[in-house]
C-alpha cells in the first residue's frame, strides 16, 4: 500500500532563507507527484506537477525534484517570504484512476 | 473561469439528516472527485468520476452517494449524516484521469454533524 510521508510536520524560518521541504513515498511505481499549498481554512492550490519521467519542475521561486528510485521528492523555496507561510502538501498518483495519495503536510511559518 | 466551485461553505447537520454538497467546474474537465480532510488522516478519496454517467468508489465511500449527469456538476450526497462525517470536503477536477493532468481543488465545505 502506498504511503506518503512529509517531514518535518512544521517548520519556522526567518524571511529570506532558502528552504527545502521533503516528501517520501513507499512505492516507486507512481504516475506523477504534485505539490500543493493550503492556506488556513482554504482549498488546495496546485504549485507544481512532476511526471514520473521527469526529474524536476520549476515555477518562479519554487523548484520541485523527483527521485523515483529512492522514493523522494523535495520542494525548494528560494528567498522565502512571509507570504509563503502555509501548509505544503505532496500527493502521488499511483494509477490512471486519478486517485491521489496525500502526505500529512508541512506547515511553514516564515517570520519577518 | 471560476474554476472549481463548492457550496455551501459551511453546514451544520443533526445526526440522521441528509444533504447534498454541490460541486461545479467550468473548465470542461472530464475527471472530478471528492476528498475529505481530517486531522491526522490527511485527505482521502471518497468517490470519483471519469466522465458524465460514470462514477466509482474511492477509499472511503460508505455513507456517500454521487452521480454525474453533466460534465460540469458532481454533487456528493450524505444519506443519513453521522458525527463521523464531520470533516472538510473538497471537490477536485482535472482534464482527464491521466498522469499528465494537474488536479484543481475547490475551496471546500466545512461540515459539522451533531
Q: What percent of chain A has pLDDT over 90?
A: 90
B106: alpha, beta or left? (left if phi > 0; alpha if psi -120 to 50): beta
Residue range A62-106, pLDDT digits in tens: 999 999 999 999 999 999 999 999 999 999 998 777 889 999 999
Per-residue pLDDT reduced to its tens digit, B62-101 = 999 999 999 999 999 999 999 999 999 999 999 987 767 8
Q: pLDDT-based confidence at B8, cuts 50/70/90?
A: very high
> Residue A4: pLDDT above 80?
yes
Judging contacts by C-beta atoms under 8 Å, the chain B residues touching residue A42 are 107-108
Residue B5 scores a pLDDT above 80: yes
Cα dihedral sign for A91, B107, B41, B98?
A: negative
| pLDDT for position B96 | 83
- What DSSP designation does A21 have? E
- State the CB neighbour count (10 A cutoff) for residue A2: 16
Mean per-residue pLDDT over chain B, rounded: 94
Contacts of B97 in chain A (CB under 8 A): 96-98
Is the CB of B107 inside 8 Å of chain A's CB atoms?
yes
What is the pLDDT at residue B97?
Answer: 76
Chain segment B18-32, per-residue pLDDT in tens: 999 999 999 999 999
The set of cell numbers assigned to B88 is 472538510
Distance from CA of A16 to the nearest CA of B (A): 29
Q: Do A98 and B103 touch (CB under 8 A)?
A: yes
Tell if the CB–CB gap between A42 and B31 is shorter than 8 Å: no
Specify the pLDDT at position B99: 63
Residue with cell 504549485: A47
Residues β-bridged to residue A73:
A23, A66
> Who among B56, B99, B106 is closest to A51 (CB)?
B99
Q: What is the pLDDT averaged over residues A19-42?
A: 94
pLDDT at A97: 79
Report chain A residues whose CB lies below 8 A from the CB of B3. Answer: none
Q: Which of B101, B103, B107 is closest, CB to CB, to A42?
A: B107
Give contacts of B46 with chain A, Cβ < 8 Å. none
Amino acid at each position: 500500500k502506498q504511503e506518503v510521508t512529509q517531514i518535518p510536520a512544521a517548520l519556522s524560518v526567518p524571511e529570506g532563507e532558502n528552504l527545502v521541504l521533503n516528501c517520501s513515498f513507499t512505492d516507486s511505481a507512481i504516475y506523477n507527484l504534485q505539490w500543493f499549498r493550503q492556506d488556513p481554512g482554504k482549498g488546495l492550490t496546485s504549485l507544481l506537477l512532476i511526471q514520473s519521467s521527469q526529474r524536476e519542475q520549476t515555477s518562479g521561486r519554487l523548484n520541485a525534484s523527483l527521485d523515483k528510485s529512492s522514493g523522494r521528492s523535495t520542494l525548494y523555496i528560494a528567498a522565502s517570504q512571509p507570504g509563503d507561510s502555509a501548509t505544503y502538501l505532496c500527493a502521488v498518483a499511483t494509477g490512471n484512476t486519478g486517485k491521489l495519495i496525500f502526505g500529512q503536510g508541512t506547515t511553514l511559518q516564515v517570520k519577518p | 473561469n471560476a474554476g472549481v466551485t463548492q457550496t455551501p461553505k459551511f453546514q451544520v447537520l443533526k445526526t440522521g439528516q441528509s444533504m447534498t454538497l454541490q460541486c461545479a467546474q467550468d473548465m470542461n474537465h472530464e475527471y472530478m472527485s471528492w476528498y475529505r480532510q481530517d486531522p491526522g488522516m490527511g485527505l482521502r478519496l471518497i468517490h470519483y468520476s471519469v466522465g458524465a454517467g460514470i462514477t466509482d468508489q474511492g477509499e472511503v465511500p460508505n455513507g456517500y452517494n454521487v452521480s454525474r449527469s453533466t460534465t460540469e456538476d458532481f454533487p456528493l450526497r450524505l444519506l443519513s449524516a453521522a458525527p463521523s462525517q464531520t470533516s472538510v470536503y473538497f471537490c477536485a477536477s482535472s482534464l482527464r484521469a491521466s498522469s499528465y493532468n494537474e488536479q484543481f481543488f475547490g475551496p471546500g465545505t466545512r461540515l459539522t454533524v451533531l
